[in-house]
Amino acid sequence: MMSTYRAWLVMFPALLTTLPRATPQVHNGLSRRELLDQILKKSTYDPRIPPDYERDEPTNVTLQIHILSFDSINEGSMDYSINIYLREKWTDSRLAFMNYTKSDWLELDTRMLDHVWVPDVYFQNEKKAAFHNVTVPNRLIHLYRNGTVNYSLRLSMTLSCHMFLARYPMDSQSCPIIIQSYTYTTDNVVFAWSPYNPITTNTNMELPQFNFQKYEIVDCRDVYEKRFACIMANFKLKRDMGYFILQVYVPSVLIVILSWISFWIDIGAVPARISLGVLTVLTMTTQSSGAQSSLPRVSYVKAIDVWMSICLFFVFTALLEYAYVNVQSRRAQNHPERFKTKKPDMSKLPPSESDNEITTKVRKSFLAARQLDKYSRWIFPVAFIVFNIMYWCIYLHVE
């Protein structure tokens, strides 16, 4: 038994020398141009099929996005525009050049892209998009020794974003970017976010009305097309209130306060009080229309609707208050004997009313009109302050 074992030990190296060996391709003596010509030969490389297509294995593609700018966020059309670098990375063993020592990677011209397989990436929620071609197509592709491919391109896109505006303009929005495979199912191509900084932004990136808070990455294969690769990122955006405070809330508060000046004007100054009331109502209506002009006609009530409606209610109620006061004062003025001490002409008075009854009704009507103005000077401001406390507490602190 021991003699047989020793015989195998002696014969085994000899047997190994007789077996065929897979000798790696030698690339050392080639220039970069000759190397590209060799690894991209049509006889050995077919850019029409994925790298692992023949082995019935999916090609793993990792993606990364660098955000250059958020150009606009439009509530009316419910979309947003974005300018990005899209970077894709995968391994294609057919492009490996392990024995080449002159360079760790090869940089391909954009005209060589048609000779290399690239993933069929598309954006599911894209409305319109454009490549950047000034002064040359903004795309690059790098090949590494082990066959890893880095592909990057610059895109400007308008993407749909369903917005819920019930808390507008104190709302937060979540706008997605959905990346899918258009042709290949998950049997051939699988997408995944890069494990290192999948989404990056410019340090000086600013949005006109929003603050970029964070992003969330999601595997959306079970949400949209289950058979196709799908990854998604949600951008969390918080609306900045500065513009609306200066352009909407402060002017509307001043208009409401302006309508209260009517309570301090004498009852007899009819043109002044009517003009002031009508002016504040029309101004409030115009401002409300301007605030709503850029918003879609949704069926639910927004925070800005509540504010504008209540402000309009206050200025309109102030106008109605003077209408009531004016009626009461005119009733008193219609009695010519209301303040005279001499006895009124009894023939002109109803037979059922005595002098004292008439005088009492006249004085009560006139005093009631003045008293209502005095009460309104305090009731309207207090009611408006109570409304403000409730409004800001509900929309700022209650989710």
Nearest to 107 by CA among 31, 34, 32: 32
- Output the pLDDT for position 2: 41
Residues 303, 249 contacting (CB under 8 angstroms) = no
Residues 266, 373 contacting (CB under 8 angstroms) = no
Domain residue spans in the chain? 25-240, 243-397
Q: Which CATH class is domain 243-397?
A: mainly alpha
pTM: 0.76
- Output the pLDDT for position 333: 63
- Output the pLDDT for position 106: 85
159 membership: H or E segment, kind and range: strand 148-160
- Output the pLDDT for position 3: 47
CA distances for 91 relative to 13, 96, 154, 220, angstroms: 35, 9, 21, 23
Nearest to 210 by CA among 234, 183, 243, 184: 243
- Output the pLDDT for position 356: 58
Instruction: Sheet with 172-185: list strands edge to edge.
Output: 121-123, 172-185, 228-239, 210-219
Nearest to 178 by CA among 226, 122, 216: 122
Hey, do 25-240 and 243-397 end up sharing a CATH topology, with the first three levels equal? no
CATH number attached to the domain at 25-240 = 2.70.170.10
Q: Which two three-digit tokens encode residue 358?
A: 């008439």
- Output the pLDDT for position 56: 81
- Output the pLDDT for position 296: 83
- Output the pLDDT for position 301: 92
Q: What is the pLDDT of residues 266-291, one digit of tens each?
A: 888 888 889 999 999 999 999 988 88
- Output the pLDDT for position 163: 92
d(CA 39, CA 117) in angstroms, rounded, equals: 13
Integer-rounded Cα radius of gyration of the chain: 40
- Output the pLDDT for position 28: 60
List of the chain residues with pLDDT < 50: 1-24, 26, 337-344, 346-349, 351
- Output the pLDDT for position 115: 86
- Output the pLDDT for position 207: 84
Q: Which two three-digit tokens encode residue 334?
A: 């219609």
Q: Which two three-digit tokens encode residue 23?
A: 């000798």
Q: Rounded to 5 degrees, what are φ and ψ at 167?
A: -100, 10
